[in-house]
């Protein structure tokens, strides 16, 4: 039985495929499509916790540097570079707190607390991490200019900014010795990595050192993230809803900003958010297209390219450390990702979307008439 036959002017191509083969190929398309679709949907449902960075930063093998470069300032060298900046801030002085005496408070009523204070303006050159400090400063000036604070709100805003400046200054001073030691250890690690000794023990030691250094950097950077987000959250409590004509800018550390000042829908200004969005929706759309049999060849090629990237991050090759965990299985050169990649590329060579898919209608209503008019398709009798 000839289920599909077509002729091109320069080259004849025949597909003689039995019904059982068609059924199994459609089943293969649906299986791979469901795998991709569920991966994408899970990431959509867990968008608040999902991050593509571990996928990139735990790469191993010869392609690892390519994926490490996709993570913004992975080792923190730029973010932990302290510089002096000329800052102006306000500190509270002459603070007075008045509480209504207990005897005058009815039972069950929270006592009224009244406080008053004056602000003292201060300025000077302080050491900060500019990658964080300057982005928080932009949010402060945005709130000061766009939300039109009254006198009390302005004082509260200045107090919040002053607390952030002093906390940032204290954090940089407290971190100075530890960051210096970290950067020296990072330099020794990079020298050892570039020395060319690729023995098993050395690879094991380098991997352990890399993870240790990343944990140290994360400890320093988490303090900065916390200070920035805490300041931004304080601003939400200062202003009334009607004053918030537009939301406060999202805090994005300078090294994570998209190039050219881009501010994209759904991802904002963050390169990390862009990666998460791209991975999530690429998987979802590829899976949906394969399941529906719509634009199947294009979806299969996209899925195959994604699997190539997966194989490049975790190649199942001998002598690469760390080896795949035994619970995942045992593989040499060919693993389950490689098999799925070959299968999905094979689907891209066949018209599987026209067999029980929406591509049947796309082909007969759109593709076939266009190709026939161009002389690229001639239907032959069986």
**How far apart, in whole angstroms, are the C-alpha atoms of residue 348 and residue 23?**
16
Share of the chain above pLDDT 70, in %: 90
Instruction: Work out the end-to-end distance of the chain between its first and last CA atoms, rounded to an integer number of angstroms.
Output: 9
Helix (H, G, I), strand (E, B) or coil at 348: helix
Residue 7 has pLDDT above 50, yes or no: no
Residues 84, 284: Cα–Cα separation, whole Å: 46
Q: Is the predicted pLDDT of residue 17 greater than 90, yes or no?
A: no
The first and second tokens of residue 131, run together, are 């990658």
* Residue 244: per-residue pLDDT: 79
Residue 372 tokens read as 């026939």
Residue 1: Cβ within 10 Å count = 8
Q: Give the pLDDT confidence score for residue 15 in this predicted structure.
A: 52
Structure tokens that stand for 71 in this block: 């993570």
Of residues 262, 181, 359, the one with CA closest to residue 368? 359
Q: Which token pair is 338?
A: 């490689």
Q: pLDDT tens digit string along 91-103?
A: 888 777 766 566 5
Residue among 363, 353, 283, 336 at smallest CA distance from 26: 353
Q: Which pLDDT score, from 0 to 100, does residue 14 have?
A: 44
Cα(231)–Cα(222) distance, integer angstroms: 14
pLDDT of residue 245: 80
- What pLDDT shows up at residue 106? 66
pLDDT in tens, 153-179: 999 999 999 999 999 999 999 999 999
- Residue for token pair 């530890």: 178
Residues 57-72 pLDDT 10s: 999 988 999 999 999 9
Which two tokens mark 235? 């601003």
Q: Treating both helix axes as pointing N-terminal to C-terminal, what angle do 200-238 and 130-146 enclose, rounded to 10 degrees?
A: 20
**Phi, psi values for residue 360, rounded to 5°:** -60, -45
The upper half-sphere exposure of residue 188, i.e. CA atoms within 13 Å in the direction of its Cβ, equals 9
Read off the pLDDT of each residue in 182-205 and give the average, rounded to a whole number: 90
Angle, helices 296-313 vs 336-348, to 10°: value is: 160
- pTM here is 0.84
What letter does residue 105 receive in the DSSP assignment?
S
So what's the pLDDT on residue 189? 94
Segment 236-241 mean pLDDT: 88
Tell me if 268 sits within 8 A of 257, measured CB to CB: no
| DSSP-derived pairing of the beta strands 4-7 and 12-15 | antiparallel
Tokens linked to 255: 């090294």
Six token digits for residue 313: 């991050």
Tokens found for residue 234:
């304080």
Give which of 258, 351, 363 is closest to 29, Cα–Cα. Answer: 351
> Can you give the pLDDT at residue 8?
43
């Amino acid at each position: 039985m000839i289920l599909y036959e077509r002729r091109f002017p320069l080259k004849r191509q025949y597909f003689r495929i039995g019904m059982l083969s068609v059924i199994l190929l459609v089943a293969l398309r649906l299986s791979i499509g469901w795998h991709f679709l569920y991966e994408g949907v899970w990431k959509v449902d867990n968008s608040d916790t999902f991050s593509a960075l571990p996928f990139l930063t735990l790469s191993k093998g010869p392609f690892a540097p390519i994926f490490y470069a996709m993570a913004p300032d992975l080792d923190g060298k730029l973010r932990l570079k302290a510089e002096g900046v000329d800052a102006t801030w306000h500190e509270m002085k002459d603070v007075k707190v008045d509480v209504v005496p207990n005897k005058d408070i009815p039972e069950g009523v929270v006592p009224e607390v009244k406080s008053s204070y004056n602000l003292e303006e201060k300025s000077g050159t302080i050491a900060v991490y500019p990658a964080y400090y300057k982005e928080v400063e932009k949010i402060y000036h945005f709130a000061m200019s766009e939300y039109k604070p009254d006198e009390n709100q302005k004082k509260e805003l200045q107090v919040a900014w002053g607390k952030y400046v002093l906390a940032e200054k204290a954090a940089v001073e407290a971190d100075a010795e530890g960051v210096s030691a970290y950067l020296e250890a990072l330099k020794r690690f990079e020298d050892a990595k570039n020395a060319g000794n690729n023995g098993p023990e050395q690879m094991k030691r380098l991997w352990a050192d890399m993870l240790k250094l990343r944990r140290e950097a994360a400890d320093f950077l988490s303090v900065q993230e916390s200070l920035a987000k805490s300041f931004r959250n304080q601003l939400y409590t200062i202003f009334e809803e009607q004053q918030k004509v537009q939301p406060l800018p999202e805090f994005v550390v300078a090294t994570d900003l998209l190039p050219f000042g881009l501010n994209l829908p759904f991802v904002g200004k963050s390169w990390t958010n862009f990666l998460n969005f791209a991975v999530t929706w690429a998987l979802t759309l590829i899976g949906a297209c394969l399941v529906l049999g719509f634009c199947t060849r294009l979806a299969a090629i996209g899925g195959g390219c994604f699997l190539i990237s997966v194989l490049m991050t975790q190649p199942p090759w001998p002598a690469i450390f760390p080896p795949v965990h035994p619970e995942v299985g045992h593989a040499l050169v060919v693993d389950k990702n490689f098999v799925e990649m070959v299968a999905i590329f094979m689907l891209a060579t066949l018209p599987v979307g026209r067999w029980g898919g929406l591509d049947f209608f796309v082909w007969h209503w759109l593709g076939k008439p266009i190709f026939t008019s161009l002389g690229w398709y001639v239907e032959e009798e069986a």
